[in-house]
């Protein structure tokens, strides 16, 4: 597949502290503003510095350098909340700016997480997602993730999360 000269080449970079406010606002706007998460979860979604201490934050930038997508990759520790062993990685809080959805940004972030998990020696990547996030679920299934229904969970009453896994 060839690219046209004016088509931007998308790359994934490590987030910098100067990106945190944008990541937090974007994540809260998409999850809470889009009706996919309760307003009280917004505070956690905006607390990017806290998740930077527990995960590897990855971003995609537009031609102007503005963050248009982000994900928190969990290679160790409990921030993934769905990992059950040291040979599992997880990712959380995948978000793409609605203005640029459909351009492969989400897929690029997920495939980068898979590559980094493989490089870290993980055998599986797991994730949890709200049942209403059907667009994300279609992406995961297209990339080979399969439902892991026995690990579905509820962080609190009324919030039911489904779990997907991909063997590496």
Domains identified in the chain, total number: 1
**What pLDDT was estimated at residue 108?**
97
Domain that holds residue 32: 12-123
Residue 34, in any domain of the structure: yes
Give residue for tokens 């351009």: 103
All residues at 6 or more sequence positions from 16 whose CB lies less than 8 Å from its CB, including other chains: none
Residue 1, in any domain of the structure: no
Q: Does the reported pTM lie above 0.75?
A: yes
**What pLDDT was estimated at residue 70?**
98
Q: Mind listing the pLDDT tens digit for each residue in 73-112? A: 999 987 878 899 999 999 999 999 999 999 999 999 999 9
φ, ψ for residue 22 (rounded to 5)?
-65, -45
Taking residue 60's Cβ as centre, other Cβ atoms within 10 Å add up to 23
**What pLDDT was estimated at residue 23?**
98
Residue 63, in any domain of the structure: yes
Residue 165, in any domain of the structure: no
- Residues in the chain, pLDDT under 70: 1-7
| Sequence-ordered alpha helix ranges (H) in 32-65 | 42-46, 48-52
Residue 134, in any domain of the structure: no
**What pLDDT was estimated at residue 1?**
43
3-class SS of residue 142: helix
Residue 46, in any domain of the structure: yes
| Residue % of the chain over a pLDDT of 90 | 76
């Amino acid at each position: 597949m060839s690219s046209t000269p004016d088509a931007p080449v998308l790359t994934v970079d490590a987030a910098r502290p100067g990106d945190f406010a944008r990541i937090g606002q974007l994540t809260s706007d998409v999850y809470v503003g889009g009706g996919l998460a309760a307003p009280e979860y917004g505070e956690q979604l905006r607390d990017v510095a806290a998740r930077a201490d527990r995960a590897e934050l990855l971003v995609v930038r537009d031609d102007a350098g503005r963050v248009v997508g982000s994900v928190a990759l969990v290679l160790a520790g409990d921030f993934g909340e769905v990992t059950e062993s040291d040979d599992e990685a997880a990712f959380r809080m995948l978000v793409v700016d609605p203005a640029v959805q459909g351009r492969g940004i989400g897929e690029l972030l997920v495939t980068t997480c898979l590559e980094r998990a493989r490089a870290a020696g993980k055998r599986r990547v797991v994730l949890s997602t709200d049942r209403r996030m059907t667009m994300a679920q279609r992406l995961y299934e297209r990339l080979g993730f399969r439902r892991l229904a026995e690990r579905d969970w509820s962080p609190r009453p009324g919030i039911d999360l489904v779990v997907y896994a991909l063997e590496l």
